[in-house]
A and B are shown apart, each in its own frame.
Chain A
């Protein structure tokens, strides 16, 4: 998967550059609420429960200030990704114990026909493993600037 293709899974309505959440729980809720507001998720409770179960298996805070909560749910009709940024950082029980600033919440239906779920997660991990990309994402001011970073044009 190319990064240009990855960009197709983001939407402006799922772009939150200034999260208000102070805790892990609030962060997940704030991000899931974006999906609800965009009518992409039918049942908020089911999605949150799924995300909590996933976090119970192991934190999706992969370190370096990044978390990629993810999971499959019947409540999501397609693969979609929300981006959230917390400037102050949120304690997330991350692998390196550091607060998380960049959140990518990936939701997918139980069986996505295109089989893109794992490639999408893989591409995100790859992109975010580069410190330079994370630094750029901390600076973006608009959705377009965000997409430019995702695509690799900025």
Chain B
């Protein structure tokens, strides 16, 4: 269940990155009428994410370009801080949302 929520959050983040870039290229003079569809897709996706998780994501997004990041070799790929091994065991259980102790980003484990 949580795994599914985190996957949707990663997808939401991808959409947010696309929207940000679309905004940037619009400023350069490109016409991007498809932005409306992207925004609709974002709204629909956001509705499926639990409000507390979405709110944490939105708060972090104001600070970081990427608010949810993977963990690789026990390192947060947002700030590259080494994480306690015990955190990995908790994270892989998919029972709670784990955030990085260094930067606060939401973490997910690929393995």
Q: Which residues of A contact B (CB under 8 A)?
A: 56-60, 62, 68, 70, 72, 95, 118, 121-122, 125, 129
Contact = CB atoms under 8 A, between A and B. Distances in A.
Contact of A125 (B29, B31, B35, B37): B29
Interface string B77-108: 00000000000000000000000000000000
Chain A contact residues: over half helix, strand or loop, or mixed? mixed
Interface of B: 21-22, 24-25, 28-35, 37-38
Contact of B30 (A60, A72, A129): A60
Contact of A57 (B22, B24, B28, B29): B22
Contact of B28 (A56, A72, A95, A121): A121
Contact of B25 (A95, A121, A129): A121
Nearest to A72: B21
A129 B28 CA distance: 11
A58 B33 contact: yes
A125 B21 contact: no
A62 B26 CA distance: 11
